[in-house]
Copies of this chain bind each other. A is one copy, B any other.
Amino acid sequence: MPSLVTPSAILESALYVTDLDAAERFYGDILGLEPLGKVEGRHLFFRCGPGVLLIFNAEATRIPPAPDARLKVPPHGAVGEGHLCFAATADEIERWKAHLQAENIAVESEFEWPQGGRSIYIRDPSGNSIEFAEPRIWGL
């Protein structure tokens, strides 16, 4: 049966980290995302334009909700190096490079895609691969 309704957008994207304090400094202070919520030892939530970035400690989110919990959020939790890409214009990518250099954050890779558009890649403190790219690399 074909889908009668198609997802219009991604509302929440998740990354898992091993150090929430370092993630708070990275995503909040260095990248400048707007904090939306925080539970010590479990998560950090940030707004990013029309969406939300969820940063989780997988050790906490893997615990199933209590049987009598009112908000039964299903357990989840991944281990390893995840990936996320922020949209950026060519001019913003140049500004990110200067800002990241001033923060002593190394650009791991940088290149122009064959279809046009540039990407740069850094690591967050837990090793997640974080990219900044022009939406036109996807024809968007």
| Chain A interface residues toward B at CB < 8 A | 1-14, 16, 29-34, 36, 47-54, 56, 58, 61-62, 70-88, 92, 95-96, 98-99, 102-103, 108-109, 111, 113-114, 121, 123, 128-129, 131-133, 135, 138, 140
Contacts and interface: CB of A to CB of B under 8 A. Distances in A.
A9 B76 contact: no
Contacts of A82: 14, 16, 76, 78, 82
Contacts of A3: 29-32, 99
Contact of A111 (B29, B70, B77, B80): B70
B99 A11 contact: no
Contact of A78 (B8, B9, B75, B79): B79
Contacts of A77: 80-81
B81 A76 contact: yes
Given A3-B31, A36-B138, A10 B84 contact: yes
A7 B48 contact: yes
A80 B3 CA distance: 27
